[in-house]
Each structure stands twice: as C-alpha cells, then as structure tokens.
Structure 1
C-alpha cells in the first residue's frame, strides 16, 4: 500500500477522530513525507527495521538533528506506524525498538527587562507610513510580552476574544486544543484600546482581532514574519516570537508570580514544564536565597 495514500487517511483520522490541531497534522504530513524521501520507499510493506534505524541515523549525522527534533520525528513515526498496524498494513512498529534520547534540559532564552522595554519603544517609534501600523504593531508585541501568547494563538484571536472592559483574553483551542483565559494588565489594555480605536477608523469588519493593513482580513503568518524581521533589524535585538513568550514567563517569575498561576496563563498541560522558569531567572533565585534563616545574623 502506498505510504502517501495511507498518510492522507491517517491525517483524516487524526483530524476528525482525535481532534488533532492543524499544526500537528502539518507536522505529520511533512515528517512522514520526509521519511519516504530519505528511505526511498513508497510502499508500507517495504518498511523494515534497518530502514527506520538508518533514517534516524541520517537525521542525527547528516542533518545534525537536535534531541528535540529527533524526539519529534520519533513521536510522529511511532504514531503513524501504530495506526498502520491497527489497520493491518504493518506487522511491527519498528520505531518502538529505537532508543529515545533524553530531552536536553537547557534553560529557555529570554530578553532582559531593559531589552523588552527597548523592543516596545522601537516598535512604537518606528517610522511607519500610517498611524494604524504603529498602533497595531505595538499591540501585537505587547500581546507577546504582556500575555505570553504563542504565534498561532495571536493570529487566531477573534475580536470577541479580547475583552478590554473586563481585562481578559480568551484563547480558543491553543496548543493541545485547550481553551484558556489570560488576565490582561492595564498597560496591555491601553495598547489594545489604542489599536482598536485605529482599527475602527480604518473600517475593519473582519472577525480576526489583528488585521492586515491594506485588506479587511486577518493578519497573516508571512506578515508577522516580515514585521519581526523588520523590528529585529531596527532594534538590534536578537529575538524570536517564542523568545518573547519565554520573556513573559521569566519576567512574571521575577515579579513574584506563582508557578501554578503562570502555568495556567501559559497553557501548559504539565506544571513541570513551567517550573523550568524558576531556574531561568537569577533575580528570582537571588530573592529566594535571601530567605535563608542564617541571613538574619552577621559575624564580625
């Protein structure tokens, strides 16, 4: 049976029966297709243990996969082959015999507080051609730094999801298809309110919260990518959208936010994922070490 045809059936099953997110579906398609390309086989019956092991060795040696990338391919193929076994297209899941390397415990990279302030200043003072761009772009970066949204979560926001009056942001079907509510600070509310005023003046009526400047439709992935490149160049600050999310979490911990609350705001399914931010900020650790009882007495 042709692997590409099976892949489409598998993706259809994952989407409608398991309610897997569109991003995960895209990952399934890309990574299984890459396996077909590298292994030079199109028939599922030709897949064997040696072929699967060679594929992962190719990724590690020729493509220099990180542990995270290796684990992602591992999870994709093990789920796909498991589905193939359930439908009797395969007799053995060859990925299960692979050694899964331990996840690297590197600290998340984040901007320092002064860098975050500078970034927002550059976004606001950039020489735009229209006032609408200034208010929209500042609101976008404020969302990342004051609410910690993921890229797709921001682009998928609807107008009805942002309640400035009650200071809340409703994230629909974030990672893992989970909904969550994020409280909004007064500073973020001011930026969003300024943007909505300009949005109304432009006559934008599309349901998306953030819109294109010259069209009545939602802001796009490519548009956000161009904006990020422009601001990165203008500010001289090396950042990614995900780094801004890490910055939100790190600054929240430095400000005294408890891990449970931060976990809910970040949309983490496991609070262990959030605890890494406790080690990511020296300020937080320094504030904790001052609590040592022996610090109350000095010896001369």
Structure 2
C-alpha cells in the first residue's frame, strides 16, 4: 500500500547487512526538487515505518538544546539502568536546564566553557556533566543538527571538592531521639549507629537481618564491603524491631514497596528542613565512624564494620575480627 503524501518513504538496501531498511522523509522543496532527510536504518520494514510515523522534523536553526536532549534521552535511556537514567535526569535538571531554550546551533564553545567553569561541583560530578553534554552533542551531530561537537574543545579545570562532611553532634543526636515519632527519624538514627551507606540501607533485605544475634549482612560497592557483617548497637534494636516485617522483601519500604534513593533523599532533605538541621545523608555514616573513633574502638573493628579496606591497618589484621568483637565495638557508642 502506498504511503500518503508527505508521509515519507521506506526502502530496502541491497547486500548482506543487519539494518537494511531505510526510512526517508521529505523535509522541504527547492526549485521543484525534494530535500530529503534520512530518519534512520532499521532491521525490519515495520520498524522503519514506525520511526517514520513518529518522526518530527525541526529546522536545525530552531531546534533547542532541550529538544535535542529529549530526543537523545528517549533513545539512550532504553539502553541503561533506571538508576543511571535517574542520575542523568537529575544532573540535567539542576545544572543544564538553564540552556533549555537556546538553539543548539547557537551554543558556542565560549558559552559552554563559561557554563562548565561556573559549576560549583567536585571534579567527579563536573566530569559527569561533561560526559552528558558530549553524548547530547554527539547525538546532534549524528542527526545533522550541528557540524561539530564543541565539547571536544572544552578545557577541563580541576574543581575543588565542595562537599563538606559534618557530623551530627551529641546534642543533635539527642534531638533526633526526642523526635523519634517523626517519619524517617528512626532511619536516620539507624544509619548513624550502623555506618551503612545509603545504597546498602535501602537495598537491605529482611532475610539478611538477624535480630536475635544483632547484626545484618550488607552488600557494598567496594570489595571490602561485599557481604560484610554490620552489628547493631543495642540502642537501635527497638527501632529495627519495629520496622522488621517478615513478609516484606526489603527492610525499608513504603506501602510494602522498596524506596528509591531519589525518593528517600527528598524525604531526608525535607526532614532536615523541618528539624532545622543542616546535614547530608552521608553525614550519618561519617558520624558513625567519628563516634567509633571517639569511643576509642579498635581501628580494625571500625574498618571491618564500615567496609573500608584500609583504616591505617592492613586488611590481614581486621579480617580476623569476629561477630562478638564487632558487637562489643559498636556498643561503645553511647
């Protein structure tokens, strides 16, 4: 069946190739001749027809940075995990949305260099932003919106770390205990008294908690932290017992469902605002390590509990710490 006028065309390439179907669209007429644009190459005719139906041509001089981002992210997010996609969305919204309405053709090297230089971020995060920019502009080149990638000419400067670690003071910890009935305050205290990373905490499963022997088994991003034993201070046993529900898969849930990092982070920020406290989630873990050190707990035990490979000692020493020793160590925190 013939496609309607203005729909475009789909045709098959010769030879042995994986993507042999081509979708092509007429975007304008000049002197009676069609100006066509290749929409893409596809494995099947149906895929090509679907792409042609969804294709919307925007004149290069008018397409905005946000429009290119939307087109790129729709395709890119199909090939990456949910957490990675969420991270990119967050980075874009916070740091790159300021140029949403600028035509991508008008974004010059000097403008992007100024934007990048003004990022008040750590080097790691700044490099993530540069990587996202490069992928967006590479996509723009492949789709013939621009001719060259200005990010290739971006000069990278070393950003100073702006993350300030601030422990919860003894007065603030007492304040949290006095407000234990507020939503999520118990989770903050559990992290302060265990040193669990937020990812470990949200991924902690009920099956990996031993209430009777006062410990859990936590996974981690680091080799030293994989499947490590984390003891429970006696003060938080009632908090853990109250949240412990055998029918659930995960320890921290909302309506019997696992809580995502972004959801918990938003709730944590609001809680800190409501309590007039100025802390990040990681301050909980930092507080735990500081409290353990101040209580003169054995450095080997501290390293073992928090999952660090080196706490000014060798791994060979602290791998011999057993469960009872770790529980004694964590109970040194008042």
Quote how far apart the aligned CAs of 1:38 are: 0.9
Cα distance change of structure 1 residues 189 and 231 upon mapping to structure 2, 3 Å threshold:
same
The DSSP-based 3-state class of the residue aligned with 1:67 is coil
Cα distance change of structure 1 residues 231 and 40 upon mapping to structure 2, 3 Å threshold:
closer
Query: TM-score, with normalisation over the residues of structure 1?
Result: 0.58
Equivalences for residues 120-269 of structure 1 within 5 A: 120-124=176-180, 126=181, 138=186, 140-172=187-219, 179-187=226-234, 190-192=237-239, 194-195=241-242, 205-212=247-254, 215-218=255-258, 229=270, 233=274, 237-257=277-297, 262=302, 265-266=305-306
1:94 maps to what in 2? 151
CA contact (8 A) 1:123 1:231 kept: no
Cα distance change of structure 1 residues 150 and 72 upon mapping to structure 2, 3 Å threshold:
same
In terms of fraction of residues, the more helix-rich structure is: 1
Quote how far apart the aligned CAs of 1:246 are: 1.9
> Which segments of 5 or more consecutive residues in structure 1 lack a partner in the other structure?
16-20, 273-300
Tell me the number of residue pairs that the alignment of Structure 1 and Structure 2 aligns: 239
Cα distance change of structure 1 residues 11 and 85 upon mapping to structure 2, 3 Å threshold:
same
Q: CA offsets per residue over residues 198-244 of structure 1, 9 Å max, x none?
A: x55xxx733221344xx44446765785577568756x654443322
> Which segments of 5 or more consecutive residues in structure 2 lack a partner in the other structure?
1-59, 61-67, 313-334
Residue 170 of structure 2, aligned match among 106, 113, 118: 113
Cα distance change of structure 1 residues 227 and 80 upon mapping to structure 2, 3 Å threshold:
closer
Quote how far apart the aligned CAs of 1:122 are: 0.9
Higher relative contact order, structure no. (Cα contacts within 8 Å, ≥ 6 residues apart):
1
Residue 78 of structure 1, aligned match among 115, 131, 152: 131
Q: CA offsets per residue over residues 21-68 of structure 1, 9 Å max, x none?
A: 70x43232343465365164565x7654234213225xx2xxxx4233
Take 2:75 and 2:121, find their aligned partners in 1: how far apart are those partners? Answer: 29
Take 1:83 and 1:268, find their aligned partners in 2: how far apart are those partners? Answer: 36
Take 1:51 and 1:231, find their aligned partners in 2: how far apart are those partners? Answer: 36
Quote how far apart the aligned CAs of 1:94 are: 1.9
The DSSP-based 3-state class of the residue aligned with 2:250 is coil
1:27 matched to 2:87? The reply is yes
